[in-house]
Amino acid sequence: MSHGAGLVRTTCSSSGGALGPGAGAAQPGASPLEGLLDPGYPRTHAALLKVAQMVTLLIAFICVRSSLWTDYSAYSYFEVVTICDLIMILAFYLVHLFRFYRVLTCISWPLSELLHYFIGTLLLLIASIVAASKSYNQSGLVAGAIFGFVATFLCMASMWLSYKVSCVTQSTDAAV
């Protein structure tokens, strides 16, 4: 039957890595903790991109936090956006690292990651533009805004990869 092969293909993760042995359903007799951690995920492009985003967001936050502010509302907004985005990226990193997507199957993880990156990238772009326009040539604020733009670019790349994974996987599954 062709339905069985389609079901196996839909269980793969969106981490971008190939399925290895033991990546499918748990084998009978295996312990429940076996396979909890995905040792190959930190070496994938998606994971390295998430780590780069977290580092640039943390640097942007530290640059703005350690500088003298001239406009409180603009930079507090920048800080809130960078920290919230950092926490959400860390949450998705941990979801993929510990394979929580296998346990919480009621959530469409590729779609939720796509929506997070769309909203987070838009807010980060707005925050970076506001921070750059209100920096008044203070080096820490300018550096924070630049790292905000770099993080925005990295989030756009992740959004493109998330969209590519969620839509291409669906269209190939529908064709079979």
Q: Break the chain into its structural domains and give their ranges.
A: 40-69+113-170
pTM reported for the whole predicted model: 0.73
pLDDT digits (tens, 9 = 90+) for 3-54: 434 333 344 444 444 444 444 444 454 444 557 888 999 999 999 999 999 9
Question: pLDDT tens across 58-71, in order?
Answer: 999 999 999 887 67
What is d(CA 123, CA 115) in angstroms, rounded to the nearest whole number?
12
Distance in angstroms (rounded) separating the CA atoms of residues 131 and 152? 13
